[in-house]
Structure 1
Amino acid sequence: MEEELVEKHGKIFLGFSDLRFKAELEVVSKVWSLDRSAEVNLDDIYSTLLYLKPTLKQFEQEIKEVELRTEKSVIVPNYQVLNYFNQARKLQKTVIFVSDIYLPKEHIEKILTISGYNGYDKLFVSCAVGTNKASGKLFDVVINDLKIKPEEILHIGDSEGSDIQQARLKGINAYQVPRAANLLNTSRYSSDKYQEYELKKTASESLFCGLQKNYLLNGSKREGVEQNSSYSIGYEILGPLCYGFVSWIIQHAEAKNIKHLYFIAREGWFLKKVFDEINLVAKTDIISHYFYASRRALFFPLISRPVSEFLFSFLVSKGSTKLSKYLKTLELEIDDERLRKLGFQSQDDLIDAKQNPQDRSRLEELFDSETEQLERLANEEKSNYLEYLQQVEMLSNNNIGLVDSGWFGNGQKKLQQIIEPSNPAANIFGFYLALHEQAKDKFDEKSLGYGYLYQFDNFNNDIESFLEISRMVEVFLSAPAESLKKFSKKDGVLGPVFMKKNDNPKLHPTVAQMHEGALDFVRDFVRVPTQQIPTLPNHLVANLLEKFIENPTEEEAFSIGTLPYDAKAIADDNEPMFAFPEVKLTDLLKNPLSLDKEFKNTFWRSAYYQNHKSPILKFFLRYTQKYFIIKDPSLSKVYDVVYRTYKKIKK
Structure 2
Amino acid sequence: MTNHQFLRKVLRYQKTYGAKATIKRSINEIFNRMRRSIGHSHPYHTLFDRDALLVRIEHPNIRLVIFDIFDTLITRPLLDPENTKHWIARRINCDRYSEQRHTAEMSLREAGSADVSLAHICTEYVRLFGTAEGDAQQLQFIEESIELALAQPLPGMIEVLKMAQQAGKKVVLASDMFLSSDVIKKLLQKCNILEYDALYLSSEVGVRKSTGELFRHIAENEKILPEQAIMIGDHPVSDQQIPQQLGFQIAVLESPLALSAYFPRLSTWIEKVKSAGPTADELVLGNIVRTFFQVQPRQFLLDRASLTQCGRYGIGYAIVGPLLAAFSEWLIDQAHADNIDRLYFLAREGQLMKDIHEVLTSGYNIPQSNYLVLSRRAISVAMIRSHEDILAIARTDYQANSLSEFLLRRFGLTLDHATLTALEKRGIWSRKRLVEIHAGQIDDALLAVLETLSDAIHRRAAMEREPMLSYLQQIKLTEGVAALVDVGYAGTIQGRLCDLLERKIQGYYMVTRAAAAEVRTRHGVRIAGCFGEDLATPDQSPLLRYNVPLEMFMGSDDPQISHYRYQDNHAVVGVYNPLSEAEKASIPLRSELRAGALSFARDYRSMKDSGLGKLRIDPHLAVDIFRDFWEGTSEFERAQIMSIATDDYYCGMGIVHFATFLPH
TM-score (norm: length of structure 2): 0.68
Matched, 1:549 2:626: no
Provide the C-alpha distance between the structure 1 equivalents of 2:647 and 2:405, rounded to a whole number of angstroms.
Answer: 19
Q: Which residues in structure 2 correspond to 1:448-459 (within 5 Å)? A: 448-456=526-534
1:403 matched to which residue of 2? 485
Query: Please, which of 365, 377, 380 is the counterpart of residue 296 of structure 1?
Result: 377
Q: Please state if 1:365 is matched with 2:448.
A: yes
**What CA distance in whole angstroms lies between the structure 2 residues aligned with 1:90 and 1:337?**
76
Determine if contact 2:90/2:278 at 8 Å carries over to the other structure.
no
Alpha-carbon separation, structure 2, partners of 1:106 and 1:512: 40
The alpha-carbon distance between structure 1 residues 272 and 100, as it changes in their structure 2 partners (threshold 3 A), is: same
TM-fit CA distance, 1:304: 4.5
* Partners of 2:446 and 2:130 in 1: CA distance: 78
2:662 aligned partner, one-letter code: W
For residue 157 of structure 1, the aligned residue among 222, 229, 233 is 233
Which amino acid in 2 is paired with 1:477? M
Q: 1:272 aligns with which of 354, 359, 368?
A: 354
* Counterpart-to-counterpart distance in 2, 1:37 and 1:176: 30
Q: Distance in 1 between matches of 2:491 and 2:161?
A: 57
- Asked whether the equivalents of residues 354 and 371 of structure 2 are also in contact (C-alpha less than 8 Å), the reply is yes
CA distance in 1, matches of 2:495, 2:388: 20
Q: 1:392 aligns with which of 461, 475, 498?
A: 475
CA 1:214 to 1:146, structure 2 compared with 1: closer, same or farther past 3 Å? same
The 1-side partners of 2:625 and 2:364 are apart by: 28
Task: Structure 2: give runs of 5+ residues left out of the alignment.
Answer: 1-75, 77-88, 299-308
The corresponding residue for 1:519 is 598
Gap change, CA 1:167 and 1:502, over 3 Å in 2: closer
TM-score by length of 1: 0.69
Aligned to 1:339: 423
CA contact (8 A) 1:247 1:535 kept: yes
In the alignment of these two chains, the number of paired residues is 553
1:266 Cα deviation (Å)?
A: 1.8
Instruction: Give the drift of 1:385.
Output: 3.7
Q: Which of 255-264 and 452-461 deviates more?
A: 452-461
Post-superposition CA distance 1:186-207 (Å, at most 9, x none):
7676768995896133368527
Contact 2:374 2:561 in 1 (8 A): yes
Alpha carbons 1:485, 1:496 under 8 Å: kept: no
**After superposition, what is the alpha-carbon deviation per residue over 1:337-365, rounded to whole angstroms, capped at 9, x for unaligned?**
5313432577x54324549xx99322212
For residues 380-529 of structure 1, what are the structure 2 equivalents within 5 Å? 381-382=464-465, 384-397=467-480, 399-419=481-501, 422-423=502-503, 426=504, 428-436=505-513, 439-444=516-521, 446-456=524-534, 461=539, 465-466=542-543, 469-491=546-568, 493=570, 495=572, 498=575, 500-501=577-578, 508-528=587-607, 529=609
**8 A Cα contact 2:563 2:574, kept in partner:** yes
- Residue 26 of structure 1, aligned match among 76, 83, 103: 103
Cα-to-partner distance string for 1:220-248 (whole Å, 9 max, x where unaligned): 89xxxxx9723343344333333343344
2:250 maps to: 174
Conservation of the 8 A alpha-carbon contact between 2:156 and 2:297: no
Q: Which runs of 5+ in 1 are unaligned?
A: 2-11, 222-226, 580-601, 609-651
Answer yes or no: is 1:578 the counterpart of 2:636: no
| Cα root mean square deviation, aligned | 4.7
Does structure 2 conserve the Cα–Cα contact (< 8 Å) formed by 1:342 and 1:365?
no
TM-aligned CA distance change 1:543 to 1:493, over 3 Å = same
1:495, 1:434 → 2: CA distance?
A: 32
One-letter amino acid of the structure 1 residue matched with residue 588 of structure 2: P
Selected match of 1:530 from 610, 616, 619: 610
Higher RCO (CA < 8 A, seq sep 6+): 2
Deviation at 1:102, TM superposition (A): 1.7
Counterpart of 2:276 in structure 1 is: 199
Is the contact made by 2:377 and 2:409 (CA closer than 8 Å) also made in structure 1?
no
Deviation track 1:90-113 (CA, whole Å, cap 9, x = no partner) reads 777776543222212443356557
Once the two structures are superposed, residues 616-643 of structure 1 have per-residue CA deviations (whole angstroms, 9 ceiling, x without a partner) of xxxxxxxxxxxxxxxxxxxxxxxxxxxx
Task: Write out aligned runs for 1:56-71 (5 A).
Answer: 56-57=133-134, 60-71=136-147
Deviation for aligned residue 1:400 = 1.6
Query: Aligned partner of 2:555: which letter?
Result: S
SS of the residue 2:392 aligns to = helix
* Residue in structure 1 matched with residue 338 of structure 2 by the alignment: 256
Aligned counterparts of 1:438 and 1:37: Cα–Cα separation in 2:
70
Cα distance in 1 for partners of 2:161, 2:479 equals: 62
Instruction: Sort the Cα spacing of 1:359 and 1:153 in 2 relative to 1 into closer, same or farther, 3 A.
Output: closer
The one-letter code of the counterpart of 2:183 is: H
Partner Cα distance (2:322, 2:589) in 1: 18
